[in-house]
Amino acid sequence: MASSSSTYPKRYRLGRRIGKGSFGSIYLAVDAEEGKQYAAKLERADSPAAQLPYEARVYRVLEGMRGAPKLHWCGRESGYNVLVVDLLGPSLEDMFNFCGRKFSVKTVCEVGLQMIDLLEEVHNRGVMHRDIKPDNFLLGLGSAADQLHIIDFGLAKGWRDSRGKHIPFRDGKSLTGTARYCSIPTHKGHEQGRRDDMESVAYVMLYFLKGRLPWQGIKVTSKRRKYAEILRRKESIPPAELCAGLPDEFRQVLVYTRELGFDEKPDYDWMRKRLEGVMEQNKWERDGLCDWVVKNMGDSGRIGEAMDAQLLAAHIRRARRRRLAEAEAAKKADDDKDSDTGAAAGDDGPAAAGAADEGRGASMAAMAGSAGRASGAGVPSSPNEAMAGSRVAGSSVAVAAASSRAGAASPAAGAPDVGGFSGKAAGEVGDRTA
């Protein structure tokens, strides 16, 4: 569906904004020819932190993967880089809030199994995500409402070189990812491997089971001190204490991921069997009846209409309004109490990689070249891809977008003045340089 400007002039029209991040914004996009809705990510093309052309390369490598959004178009229009992908449903973080900020063990097993499946396939294609968090796993829409999708590959990196060998170990690297969920080696400045994604999965599952992690809410005067305290707590709190009150399988998974070697391939089957064992012990089936589905059934009173888009969107909007109001009140209270503690706000957000993320270009070039040869996608095989800038924050597309009318062909107030666009075809995005 990649298109050239001569063939599909002004094909996509921007609608209302449905997400915002440090890189730019996400808008509802409508295909003027087919009337279908998509998500369009926009960033200023002249930004030194521009990352969408790079992210588009990763989506090409993942083309055809179940649970990865399909890249429909990318290019440049009116001074903006634009990336058009599938419109998806709410994130796991949205669902976590919808369910009162705690998931049942069954639900965590269900989503944990899907996260492991997704990352195994991502890793098999030569990619490591490097920013595993609840916001980066989205539900599908309609018949795919029970399928998780993994998004936001702005910090991704290839883990093998052009010869298929694992990238070399390096030290002294800046923290890449989200401090709350990143691995202990990442805190220590080590090059990331597949193991680090899996340790992050363990933390995400504990977050869902416990409601919060013991290194949340630390108030210090700088991010450096914050990250140091998070690392101290991750290293000092025993796994048995972290997992107290939970089935022992969750402790086993955490310990296993922490013991993996830098270049070691995770045993995805072993991790799956731990979670499947919890399901079997409790005689649970993988039926997709996660907490949000059950809650929505009870709220709607219509069993046959679980995951009704409009009802669920209304719940999510109300939960978000409450959360924003509470966050504003808490921030004001902190500011009034002690202005020096403000550095704690937002420190659980993603940390940008350093401007010289050595080896990222080479490994991704190898990964992209391999995918290009396999699929004929025409991915450049030698991009100069040094890491720069920050990732998308809050990029999940709420299910409210799916319930909006498809006739949103007029740009929303405040939308960039790109109107309709077609730009360059997906295969024509130029190399990104640091």
Q: Report the candidate in 369, 392, 385, 368 with the shortest Cα–Cα distance to residue 430.
A: 385
- Is 1.10.510.10 the CATH classification of the domain at 90-294+307-323? yes
Q: pLDDT tens string for the chain (434 positions)?
A: 443 333 334 789 999 998 876 577 999 999 988 999 999 999 999 988 888 998 999 999 999 999 999 999 999 998 999 999 999 999 999 999 999 999 999 999 999 999 999 999 999 999 999 999 999 999 999 889 999 999 999 999 999 999 999 999 999 999 999 999 999 999 999 999 999 999 999 999 999 999 999 999 999 999 999 999 999 999 999 999 999 999 999 999 999 999 999 999 999 999 999 999 999 999 999 999 999 999 887 765 443 444 455 556 555 556 556 666 766 776 666 555 443 333 333 446 666 554 445 555 555 556 555 554 444 333 222 222 322 222 222 333 333 333 333 333 344 555 665 555 553 333 332 332 22
Task: Tell me how crowded residue 294 is: count the other CB atoms within 10 A of its CB.
Answer: 15
Determine whether the annotation assigns residue 41 to a binding site. Answer: yes
Structure tokens at 425: 């075809």
Structure tokens at 366: 């190898």
Q: Which CATH code fits 13-86? A: 3.30.200.20
Structure tokens at 283: 């005689």
DSSP β-ladder status, 127-128 and 24-31: unpaired
Question: What is the residue extent of each domain of the chain?
Answer: 13-86, 90-294+307-323
Contact 328, 135 (CB under 8 A): no
Contact 18, 408 (CB under 8 A): no
- Burial letters for 178-192: b for 16+ Cβ neighbours within 10 Å, e otherwise? bbbbbbebbbeebbb
Mention every residue, 6+ apart, whose C-beta is less than 8 A from residue 180.
Answer: 133, 203, 207, 213, 215, 216, 230, 348
Q: pTM for the full model? A: 0.77
Do 13-86 and 90-294+307-323 agree at the fold level? no
Length of the chain measured in residues:
434
Query: How far apart (Å, rounded) are the C-alpha atoms in residues 3 and 74?
Result: 9
pLDDT value for 38: 96
Tokens 């990222």 label which residue?
360
Catalytic site positions: 131
pLDDT value for 275: 99
pLDDT value for 364: 55
pLDDT value for 358: 53
Contacts 24+ apart (CB under 8 A), 250-257: 250/202, 250/205, 250/206, 250/209, 250/274, 253/202, 253/205, 254/199, 254/202, 254/203, 254/206, 257/183, 257/195, 257/198, 257/199, 257/201, 257/202
Q: Report the candidate in 49, 90, 107 with the shortest Cα–Cα distance to residue 286.
A: 107
